[in-house]
């Protein structure tokens, strides 16, 4: 069979980039290669719609738009010998919604942040913006995210150019996300499906234009870019190094075309021809109206007739700029076919109150990161070139359908999408996907750092196409994900009673040396007294004090064990003995004789206790209020007991006679003869016998001079 007239076989698309700008009046296609961060244009074509199949940038007649796209695709394929199967596209901002939001992430338990980690955090932030938008959406319209721009990255509250490779405690991502109704997005995808084109990147038209006219290195300047198409005027605002806002106006080039239709009685295509003739500088325009009459009109007459409509367009655009920016910008770029409308540039400058030299039509002379390879392209080609560049910068969205637990969800960036990212877009929270150990509870107890561990998490079970998978498994169009969500561990929690063990200790009063002392356990948290049921908060500082053990009481009294023993009833006790309400502690000498008074004195001012020495299971102790009883000094005429008389001593310069008894006398026996207040803050008890340091168990003899007093603590 002869193959003489057979069409040559088309080679695969490979790395060749194919971008389409589907506008209200025309479909523009470009192809080229992206090499060393620059897009090299290979070919381009523009085909006008023969019918009004697009309205305000939205596909109205899917089959008709698909027909024009097919013409663009076929002509580029034929001229370049390549089969085009993958395409990058952009959506106009009809019914555009934007949300600016920020989200903080705890990264204290992570190693250096990877590109995937940062991308996951960005997606989670976009999901937050989506949720905020959904909460205000009272209708049934579903909105899809079609683009976002990072306003700032912060690491531990410091602004940083990139988070990748860094470690820290907290990362913050602030971004602005753009959303369009599902009908806009799905219309575009239906057109691509009819042409057997796989969408590899979807973005917003002003984002695309920004990437080739206002790249990051000049975004410190407050610049507004307006992509004026036939149906919409899409706006992007840059300042302080970032794109900070997007906006749109439904007034655009068609408003001018429609005014020509009304004034000159022509059809839409003829009106477009008249508009373009004036814009390109023709002196006179010839046309036929719908009645068949031929006309010749000076271009300046048409310009004058259109001036009110052009002024309305300029005013609408400028109002949208000021609303999005908060004020007039420093400079403006106009791109798109509508930017060529005669007289528009000076009107924009006038209404923004800026010099006319600061408003420019962004054509080929302003393109960044693009090599036109000899072509001289006008402002109408900025957006399609931007679409191509945006796709190679991985800033566009790939839109596919993935099934998650029998529910179909629309996802973006499937080319590099992991299970984790797909589940996040589907509405799963990170703790449902990855699980988290419960948060630890850290606090200090009497100056010692304590930590209670949080509960362990149960990991998620993930399957992709019924095969076991991990959250990093890559997924693409048509994949099915099944997940049993992770269960996060319980956060650690504790009450004061849990860590201090109140139940192991007793409240009440004990008697020692004839004096009464209040016992019990109390605590302060951050300087405030708290009940046992208080729920401990992270970083709380807990301080305890009180009389809990006999050792606590001995320290308050500055007493020791030299030559004596202590008993409660018949039981000998040591410093670890836990005191109970009603305990009557007796002191015995080495001969087994009771030392001290046998009568219970009247209460005296309370003594402030020191912190207990025994801490129960991360224990604590409560401040105890010590009550002391006093009585008058024994009479000098007391009757001798067991044949032994009393002794006369001096305490704090005052003479005292101790009653006769069987056994030795110790300094503790003089405590009932004085009034002191050991609760004075930052104080200590001074004990002396005949000028020498002593303690409460030191022996005293007739004629001794003793001192028991409270003084300010030295070195404080």
Three-state DSSP state, 540: coil
Buried b (16+ CB within 10 A) or exposed e, 512-521: bbbbbbbbbb
Average pLDDT in the chain: 81
Q: Mapped to the 3 state alphabet, what secondary structure does 237-262 carry?
A: EEECCEEEEEEEECCCHHHHHHHHHH
- CB contact at 8 A, 271 and 254: no
Residue 81 inside a domain? The answer is no
Question: How far from each other are the two terminal CA atoms of the chain, in whole angstroms?
Answer: 111
In a domain, 435, yes or no: no
Of the listed ranges 270-284, 391-405, 493-507, the least confidently predicted one is 391-405
Residues 151 and 273 occupy one common structural domain: yes
Are the beta carbons of 549 and 612 closer than 8 angstroms?
yes
Q: What is the pLDDT of residues 630-652, one digit of tens each?
A: 333 333 322 232 333 578 899 98
- Supply the DSSP symbol for 549: B
Clarify whether residues 172 and 300 are in a common domain. Answer: yes
Same domain, 706 and 578: yes
For residues 515 and 661, membership in a common domain is answered with yes
Residues 388 and 517 in one domain: no
Rounded mean pLDDT of 474-496? 87
Interatomic CA distance for residues 417 and 432, integer angstroms: 18
| Bridge partners of residue 224, in order along the sequence | 237, 332
Q: Given pLDDT bands bounded at 50, 70 and 90, which one contains residue 398? A: low
500 assigned to some structural domain = yes
Instruction: Tell me, yes or no, whether 16 lies in a domain.
Output: no
**Lowest mean pLDDT segment, chosen from 36-50, 213-227, 553-567:** 553-567
Q: Check residues 612 and 500 and name the one with the higher pLDDT.
A: 500
| CA-to-CA separations, 312 to 96, 209, 249, in angstroms, rounded | 21, 24, 12
Handedness of CA 305, 311, 314, 316 (dihedral sign): negative
pLDDT at 318: 93
Q: Give the rounded percent of residues in the chain with a pLDDT score beyond 70.
A: 86
Tally of structural domains, the chain: 2
Q: Using CA atoms, how far apart are residues 381 and 393, in angstroms rounded to an integer? A: 19
**Please, what is the Cα angle at 513 between 635 and 601, to 5 degrees?**
50
The predicted pLDDT at position 601 comes to 32
Does residue 542 fall inside a structural domain?
yes
What pLDDT score does 81 carry? 93
Cβ atoms of residues 667 and 694 within 8 Å = yes
Show which of 369, 392, 415 is a domain's final residue. 392
Per-residue confidence (pLDDT) for residue 548, from 0 to 100: 84
- For residue 432, what pLDDT is reported? 82
User: Rounded mean pLDDT of 526-540?
Assistant: 89
pLDDT > 80? residue 515: yes
Which residues are CB-contacts of 611 (< 8 A; sequence separation ≥ 6)? 446, 543, 544, 545, 546, 552, 621
Query: 281 has which bridge partners?
Result: none
In this structure, are strands 198-204 and 654-658 parallel, antiparallel, or unpaired? Answer: unpaired
Q: How far apart are CA 347 and CA 417, in angstroms?
A: 46
Whether residue 595 contacts residue 589, with contact meaning beta carbons closer than 8 Å, is answered with yes
Residue-number span of the structural domain to which 129 is assigned:
91-392
- Residue 194 is part of a domain; what is its CATH number? 3.30.420.40
Closest to 110 in 3D by CA, of 453, 423, 417, 436: 436
The residues, any chain, with a CB within 8 Å of residue 30's CB and separated by 6 or more, are: 18, 19, 41, 43, 44, 381, 384, 385, 387, 388
58 belongs to a structural domain: no
The two beta strands, 331-335 and 359-361, are parallel
Residue where a domain stops, chosen among 360, 392, 424: 392
pLDDT value of position 412? 52
276-281 contacts, C-beta under 8 A, 24 or more apart: 276/340, 278/302, 278/303, 278/306, 278/342, 279/340, 279/341, 279/342, 280/340
The residue out of 365, 392, 419 marking a domain boundary is 392
Q: Tell me: the pLDDT tens digits for 294-304?
A: 999 998 888 88
Instruction: Give the DSSP per-residue string, 159-193.
Output: EES--TT---SEEEEEEEEEEEEHHHHHHHHHHHH
Average pLDDT over residues 675-685: 65
pLDDT at 529 over 80: yes
Does residue 607 register a pLDDT over 50? no
* pLDDT band of 133, cuts 50, 70, 90: confident
Evaluate whether residue 548 is within a structural domain. yes
Tell me: pLDDT of 571 over 60.
yes
Q: Are strands 441-445 and 541-545 parallel, antiparallel or unpaired?
A: parallel
Helices and strands in the chain, H and E counts: 13, 46
pLDDT value for 677: 61
**The pLDDT value given to residue 600:** 31
CA 265, CA 222: separation in Å to the nearest integer? 43
Residue 442 lies inside a defined structural domain of this protein? no
What percent of the chain has a predicted confidence (pLDDT) above 90? 21
The span from the CA of 116 to the CA of 418, in Å, is: 9
With a cut of 50, say whether residue 618 has pLDDT above it: no
């Amino acid at each position: 069979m002869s193959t003489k007239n057979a069409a040559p076989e088309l080679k695969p698309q490979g790395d060749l980039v194919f971008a389409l700008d589907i506008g209200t009046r025309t479909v523009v296609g470009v192809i080229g290669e992206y090499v060393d961060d620059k897009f090299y244009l290979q070919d381009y074509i523009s085909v006008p719609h023969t019918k009004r199949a697009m309205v305000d940038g939205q596909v109205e007649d899917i089959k008709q738009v698909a027909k024009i796209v097919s013409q663009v695709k076929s002509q580029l394929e034929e001229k370049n010998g390549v089969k085009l199967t993958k395409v990058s596209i952009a959506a106009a901002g009809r019914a555009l919604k934007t949300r600016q939001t920020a989200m903080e992430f705890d990264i204290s338990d992570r190693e250096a942040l990877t590109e995937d980690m940062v991308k996951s955090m960005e997606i989670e932030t976009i999901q937050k913006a989506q949720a905020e938008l959904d909460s205000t959406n009272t209708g049934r319209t579903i909105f899809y995210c079609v683009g976002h721009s990072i306003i700032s990255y912060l690491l531990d509250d410091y602004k940083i150019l990139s988070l990748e490779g860094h470690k820290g405690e907290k990362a913050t991502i602030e971004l602005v996300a753009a959303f369009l109704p599902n009908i806009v997005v799905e219309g575009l995808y239906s057109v691509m499906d009819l042409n057997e084109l796989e969408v590899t990147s979807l973005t917003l038209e002003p984002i695309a234009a920004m990437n080739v006219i206002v790249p990051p290195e000049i975004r410190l300047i407050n610049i507004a870019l307006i992509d004026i198409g036939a149906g919409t005027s899409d706006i992007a605002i840059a300042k302080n190094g970032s794109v900070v806002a997007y906006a749109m106006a439904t007034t655009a080039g068609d408003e001018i075309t429609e005014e020509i239709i009304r004034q000159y009685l022509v059809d839409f295509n003829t009106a477009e021809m008249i508009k373009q003739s004036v814009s390109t500088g023709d002196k006179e325009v010839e046309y036929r109206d719908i009645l068949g009459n031929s006309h010749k009109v000076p271009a300046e007459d048409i310009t004058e007739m259109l001036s009110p409509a052009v002024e309305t367009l300029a005013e609408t655009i400028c109002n949208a700029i000021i609303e999005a920016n908060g004020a007039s910008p420093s400079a403006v770029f106009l791109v798109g076919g509508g930017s060529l409308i005669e007289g528009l540039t000076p009107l924009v400058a006038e209404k923004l109150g800026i010099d006319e030299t600061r408003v420019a039509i962004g054509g080929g002379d302003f393109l960044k990161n693009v090599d036109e390879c000899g072509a001289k392209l006008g402002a109408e080609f900025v957006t399609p070139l931007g679409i191509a560049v945006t796709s190679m910068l991985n800033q566009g969205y790939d839109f596919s359908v993935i099934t998650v637990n029998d529910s179909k969800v629309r996802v973006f960036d499937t080319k590099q999408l992991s299970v984790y990212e797909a589940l996040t877009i589907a509405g799963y929270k990170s703790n449902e996907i990855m699980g988290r150990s419960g948060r630890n509870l850290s606090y200090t107890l009497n100056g010692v750092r304590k930590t209670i561990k949080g509960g362990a998490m149960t990991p998620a079970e993930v399957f992709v196409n019924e095969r076991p998978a991990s959250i990093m498994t890559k997924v693409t169009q048509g994949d099915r994900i099944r997940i049993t969500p992770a269960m996060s561990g319980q956060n650690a929690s504790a009450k004061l009673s849990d860590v201090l063990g109140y139940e192991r200790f007793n409240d009440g009063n004990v008697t020692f040396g004839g004096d009464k002392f209040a016992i019990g356990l109390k605590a302060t948290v951050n300087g405030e007294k708290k009940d046992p049921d208080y729920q401990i908060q992270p970083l709380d500082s807990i301080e305890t004090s009180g009389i809990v053990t006999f050792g606590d009481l001995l320290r308050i009294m500055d007493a020791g064990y030299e030559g004596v023993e202590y008993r409660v009833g018949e039981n000998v006790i040591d410093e670890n003995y836990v005191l109970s309400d009603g305990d009557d502690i007796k002191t015995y000498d080495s001969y087994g004789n009771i030392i001290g008074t046998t009568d219970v004195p009247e209460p005296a001012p309370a003594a402030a206790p020191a912190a207990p020495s025994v801490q129960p299971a991360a224990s604590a102790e409560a401040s105890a209020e010590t009550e002391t009883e006093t009585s008058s000094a024994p009479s000098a005429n007391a009757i001798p007991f067991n044949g032994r008389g009393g002794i006369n001593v001096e305490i704090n310069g005052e003479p005292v006679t101790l009653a006769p008894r069987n056994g030795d006398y110790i300094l503790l026996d003089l405590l009932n003869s004085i009034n002191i207040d050991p609760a004075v803050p930052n104080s200590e008890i001074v004990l002396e016998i005949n000028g020498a340091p002593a303690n409460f168990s030191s022996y005293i003899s007739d004629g001794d001079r003793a001192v028991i007093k409270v003084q300010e603590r030295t070195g404080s």
